[in-house]
Amino acid sequence: MTVIVRPARPGEEGDIVRLIRALAIYEHEPDAVKISEEALRGHLFNDHPRIFAHVAEAEGRVVGIAVWFLNFSTWTGKHGLYLEDLFVEPEMRGAGVARALFKALAEEAKARDCPRIDWAVLDWNELGKGLYRKLGAWHNAEWEPWRLDGAALKALQD
């Protein structure tokens, strides 16, 4: 089986949203996905995109996705790649699709002079973490993710 990884093209928003949903189901959050194909299209395909997607294609079908954007480090003074979503269809696992997606992202990082790829994984997701460890990635455990949203965010806006 040949797997091709390449930047997503206009018209593939449906496949991407399908796999975003499949990932959310895997993450036990089936109702979390509010994004529409139209909104995704507007974000991905414009003159100055702030988000990007790669797809993995096998036998003419999209079987995996990586959705990412550029973050920034005030220490390095450089952008990094932030991987928001990575997903490979369950029936396609074990064939190197996720690794091929990471390889494409690593090449994007090189082309953009980004010294890091960062992402977040659910603490119970040992399947994901096993793959990440094989790639040589590490859990940046001393930094805690914090969030302000909902009523607390609104309170600051009044």
Which residues are catalytic, by number? Answer: 132
Q: Closest distance between a copy of itself and the C-beta of residue 60, in Å?
A: 24
Which of the 8 DSSP states describes residue 7? E
Tokens of 106: 């690593």
* Surface-to-core class of residue 12, CB atoms within 10 Å of its CB (0-12 exposed, 13-18 middle, 19+ buried): buried
Count other C-beta atoms under 10 Å from residue 45's C-beta.
15
**Does 143 engage in binding with a copy of itself (CB under 8 A)?**
yes
- Under DSSP, the state recorded for 5 is E
User: Segment contacting a copy of itself (CB under 8 A): 2-10, 56-64, 73-81, 89-97?
Assistant: 73-81
Minimum gap (Å) between residue 47 Cβ and a copy of itself? 9
Which residue lies nearer to a copy of itself by CB, 58 or 132?
Answer: 132
Q: Name the 3-class secondary structure at 12.
A: coil
Between CA 6 and CA 54 the distance in angstroms is 5
Enumerate binding residues for a copy of itself (CB under 8 A). 20, 24, 29, 32-36, 39-40, 43, 48, 50-51, 67, 69-77, 79, 82, 84-85, 102-103, 106-107, 109-110, 115-124, 129, 132, 135-149, 151-153, 155-157
